[in-house]
Structure 1
Amino acid sequence: MRKVVLLSLSTIFLLSSCVSKKQFTDLEAKHKETQDLLNSATVKLNSCLEDRASATARAAALEEQVSDLRKANDNLTVLSAKGASNVEKTLESIKEKDLKISRLQDAITKKDSVTLALVTSLKREVGINDPDIEVNVEKGVVFISIADKLLFKSGSYNVTSKAKDVLAKVAKVVNSKPDFECMVEGHTDNVPYRKEPLLDNWDLSVKRSTSIIRVLETLDVNPSQLIAAGRSHYVPLVDNDTAENRSKNRRTRIVILPKIDQFYDMIEKEMKNLEASN
């Protein structure tokens, strides 16, 4: 079965003034709608594949019967009108199911191709050889994970000059994809934090996110493409039981993904085409 990649958007809590709770709730709801639609498309696709396999088997069996009949009696050169009609209908059914499958796969493959091109571009621009920078694809979404030691001093949300060099490369890729959104997620360890005016790790994670976004704005990234998010210490990569592990968990993740509305419309259109042809 051809590969189907599901789009997923990580659950986020938006605590910055840049994104209101309602905007986040709308985005999350739209993402759920998209995922439900993709799940439905996958079920339809699997059903079509199963039907096609069954129809192919029936056609092969009919063709074998034809061959046996010709060997058994050289004088029998013509199939009955009913048998010939069955073969023709079976082959036509296979063609129709192939067309339905192709429509769904074209929609999903289009997104996969864009995602692959984006990953290649990011790896080239950001520098994949740096162990503190990771470029990857997770559930169909492209992300860049940057260790906080490259971005901030300990307990601070002020972006370092070294970080600006890395973010300039990120901005170059984002600017080349005006139809994509860029979500900046701040992550902390579980050590309690309180430093005025910030109250805790929630505040720190969001403040670091908005600090990165302000740098991206100075690099001419369209603000309407940007989403600020803070995850506090609730999505660790590893247990916060050693200093080394806590360092791994303190990170900023930049998620780059197609605008949900556009992808939703594309899949919805193909689903309607599939239903209309049934």
Structure 2
Amino acid sequence: MNIQLRHIYRFTLAGFALLSACVPARKFEEIKAKQDRCEADNALLKSQNEDLTVKMTELGAELTDFKKRHEGLVGDTAVLGKSLRQMTQNYDKLNETYELLLKNNKEMLAGSRTETEKLMTELQKTQSNLQKQEDALKLLERELQAKQKDLERNSQELSEREAKINELQGILEKKDKAVEDLRKKVSDALLGFENKGLTIEQKNGKVYVSLEENLLFASGSYQVDTKGKEALKKLAGVLADNQDINVLVEGHTDNVPYKGSGQIKDNWDLSVLRATAIVRILTENKGLDPKRLTAAGRGEYLPIDPSDSKEARQKNRRTEIILTPKLDELLQILESN
């Protein structure tokens, strides 16, 4: 029995030594405490076993002695038999107690192994979950870093775009102010002609100077009369002082077909020749670069009033001088984007 206990003890120590390398500190302390209790119980059992062994040896010696006496003293058999039975009963009880203690010790060791295996299973499961969470966390960190880089890049692009927009806004505001200043200068220069066949309007970032036919031309003619020349020369002076203005001269007619012969064939020709005649008068001012001017004929195809009445046709017979600020700076910014 001593040899069996030693084997159990060694197995228990080896099991705890193996488990101590894998179990977390807190669990290890719990198992170590149980191990200590098992070792104390085992030591107690060992001590009790040794006592029992001594007692069994003593009892065995006494039994032998009693047997000898029994053989020698037949007459005292009843007393010896009773003593023998009592000693046998005591021996059986001691042996039963030993077997019970041994069984309890084995159950305690088995329970310890079962709990250790359970803890190991839970630990492995926890480690697996932790690894999965760690992998997921690393993936999220990489995605977050990528998103952060995209955000930084987008923020930089947004800042650059906002700077461009602010720059464009500044240029547009400057252009609008230039257009307003130009409108005022043109209006001041042509003050005596307004409401006398001449109107000045600011729209779409441009200044429109509209001159009715009766201010410039006789019906069906493209020769500018004296009053019209006076107005055009005053306008040319303003344009010469404002070099950043492009000038488009558009001739317009009504929808009555042109009747005549010679150089003018139709309303297209009449509108173009009228625009050209005005450009020539404007460029008599040497401060006005001809490269800034464009002459165009729109014929009858862009009427102010599309109705077929005398009043409508009179409105449509006109010349429009469209003044547009140069947008070179603005175009350069747009092209750079």
TM tier relative to shorter chain: 0.5 to 0.7
Q: Please say if 1:159 is aligned against 2:203.
A: no
Letter in 2 for 1:217: T
Letter in 2 for 1:181: N
User: Corresponding residue for 1:204?
Assistant: 270
User: Corresponding residue for 1:193?
Assistant: 258
Contact 1:189/1:240 (8 A) holds in 2: no
Q: CA 1:117–1:266 in 2, change beyond 3 Å: closer, same or farther? A: farther
Report SS of the residue matched to 1:119. Answer: helix
Q: CA 1:265–1:99 in 2, change beyond 3 Å: closer, same or farther? A: closer
Cα drift, residue 107 of structure 1: 2.3
Cα drift, residue 178 of structure 1: 1.5
What pairs with 1:28-177 in structure 2 (closer than 5 Å)? Answer: 96=159, 99=163, 101-127=165-191, 129-177=194-242
Letter in 1 for 2:316: N
1:233 to 300, 309, 317: 300
Q: Please say if 1:215 is aligned against 2:281.
A: yes
CA distance in 2, matches of 1:131, 1:163: 11
Which structure has more helix as a fraction of its residues? 2
User: Corresponding residue for 2:18?
Assistant: none
TM-score (norm. length: structure 2): 0.49
Contact 1:107/1:267 (8 A) holds in 2: no
Cα drift, residue 99 of structure 1: 4.5
Q: Which has the larger radius of gyration?
A: 2
Higher relative contact order (CA 8 A, sep 6+): 1
Q: Percent identity?
A: 39
Query: Alpha-carbon deviations, 1:108-165, whole Å to 9, x = none?
Result: 2121121111111111111274242111122111110010100000110000011011
Letter in 2 for 1:264: L
Structure 1 outlier segments of 4+, above 6 Å = none
CA distance in 2, matches of 1:101, 1:182: 28
CA distance in 2, matches of 1:268, 1:117: 27
Report SS of the residue matched to 1:231. Answer: strand
CA distance in 2, matches of 1:101, 1:197: 51
Letter in 1 for 2:190: V
User: Corresponding residue for 1:247?
Assistant: 314
- Coordinate RMSD, CA, aligned: 2.5
Cα drift, residue 101 of structure 1: 4.2
Query: Alpha-carbon deviations, 1:7-47, whole Å to 9, x = none?
Result: xxxxxxxxxxxxxxxxxxxxxxxxxxxxxxxxxxxxxxxxx
TM-score (norm. length: structure 1): 0.59
2:245 to 166, 180, 188: 180
Letter in 2 for 1:103: E
Q: Which runs of 5+ in 2 are unaligned?
A: 1-150
Contact 2:168/2:333 (8 A) holds in 1: no
Query: Alpha-carbon deviations, 1:26-83, whole Å to 9, x = none?
Result: xxxxxxxxxxxxxxxxxxxxxxxxxxxxxxxxxxxxxxxxxxxxxxxxxxxxxxxxxx
Cα drift, residue 255 of structure 1: 0.7
Q: Which runs of 5+ in 1 are unaligned?
A: 1-88, 273-278
Letter in 1 for 2:273: K
Contact 2:240/2:285 (8 A) holds in 1: no
Q: Aligned pairs, how many?
A: 181
CA distance in 2, matches of 1:98, 1:179: 27
Report SS of the residue matched to 1:252. Answer: strand
Cα drift, residue 98 of structure 1: 6.1
